[in-house]
Structures are given as C-alpha cells and as structure tokens.
Amino acid sequence: MKKRTLALLLALILCVGCAIGGTVAWLITKTDTITTTFTAGNINIELTETTGNAFKFVPGAEIAKNPTVTVKANSENCWLFIEIVEANNPLADGQSQYIIYAIDNGWSAVPNQSGVYYRQVSSSASDQAFAVLSGNKVTVSSAITKEQIDALGEFQPTLKFTAYAIQSEHLKYTDAMDDNAKAAFAWSLIDEKPTNLPDDDND
C-alpha cells in the first residue's frame, strides 16, 4: 500500500513538473544585424592644358600657358605632385634661361628634388583644380640674343609637366617628419616616375 501511494505521489509530482515546465517562457532577444562593407578608396587626377603646347618665342614675350592639375571628386586625401622637366632651357652661362616661369601659390618644392613641387589635398565631393604656373604664363628672357637663339638649332627649349598623386594617410611617417619631409618620403614611394634624364630627351 505504501509503495502504491509513493508511486502515485511521484507520478503526480512528475505531472505537475511537466505542466509547469511546459508553460515557462524563456526571455530571448537578438539585435539587428550590422553588415560592414569595405569599399576601396581611390585617387583620380587629371592634367590638362588649353593654351596649346607649341609656341614661337621672341625675347621678352609673355606666352599664355595654363597646365592645370585636377583632383577628381571623392578622391582620398593625397599628396599631389607636379614635376617639370626642362630641356635645352639654360643658356651657356648656366644662369639665365630662355623660358622663365614661376610656380603658382600653394605649391612647395620637394626637398632635394629638381623641378618637383607638392601640395596636400583633402578629399572633397567636388573636383579640385590647381593651376601650376603663376599667372598661367611663361616669359621669354629679354636678355637672350639672336645668336643664342640661332645656336639652338634643332634643340629647342621644352618644358614637360607630369602630375602624380599618392595617399597622404597611413604612410609610414616618423614623428620627426615635418610636411616637407613627409612629402619627400611620399614622393620616394611613387614608382611610376620617368627614368630618363632631361639631357637625354631633346624632342
């Protein structure tokens, strides 16, 4: 009798436990999913000129010349460089030049580089255009003579402009670097610079 009573009691407890367990509502929640998409950054630049690239020159003349570098919209923060390679421009005395020009405001010379200038450009939703030459012009020296011009023969003065850009963030600068040093370091990383020497190119 006692065994039967104990069995019934255990069965009752089991049934009650199952009934209670079946009505428990577990507290469960979840967050919204966050999807991170990594889109590659880019830098796009363009070098244009509307004044032409072939001129006759006479002493003292001012010639309109407007090479312009444009950093395209949504490009990354960058170092922007312009390289000017001269050929057959210095006179025999090594001091005067046939074609004289000045670099426009906002450009700085890259240390220990001849004819290379830089500026920092921040990302923008719009195109950003930068003139290269002050006044968008070059001037022919008034000190040159007809004999000097005639002596040029087929080797006429030339100016070649090439623009480059490289990201300015996340390069391996050191704490001691100022902007000039950072620009020189960034310039050293550009591996698409021409390897020919100006004196080898007389076209």
By mean pLDDT, which of 10-19, 84-93, 153-162 is the weakest?
10-19
Identify whether the C-beta of residue 113 lies closer than 8 Å to the C-beta of residue 187: yes
Q: Is residue 51 scored above 80 in pLDDT?
A: yes
pLDDT at 107 over 70: yes
pLDDT average, residue stretch 28-35: 88
Sign of the alpha-carbon dihedral angle for 180, 185, 189, 192: positive
The per-residue pLDDT for 153 is 79
C-beta of residue 104 within 8 angstroms of C-beta of residue 118:
no
Query: What residues form DSSP beta bridges with 97?
Result: 90
Instruction: Please count the other Cβ atoms lying within 10 Å of the Cβ belonging to residue 153.
Output: 8
Query: What mean pLDDT comes out for the span 45-64?
Result: 89
Domains of the chain: 45-192 (2.60.40)
Kindly tell me if the per-residue pLDDT of 94 is higher than 60: no
Neighbours of 98 (CB within 10 A): 21
The whole-chain average pLDDT of the chain stands at: 83
Helix (H) or strand (E) holding 116, with range, is: strand 116-121
The pLDDT of residue 10 is 54
Q: In this model, does residue 95 exceed pLDDT 70?
A: no
First to last CA, the chain: 120
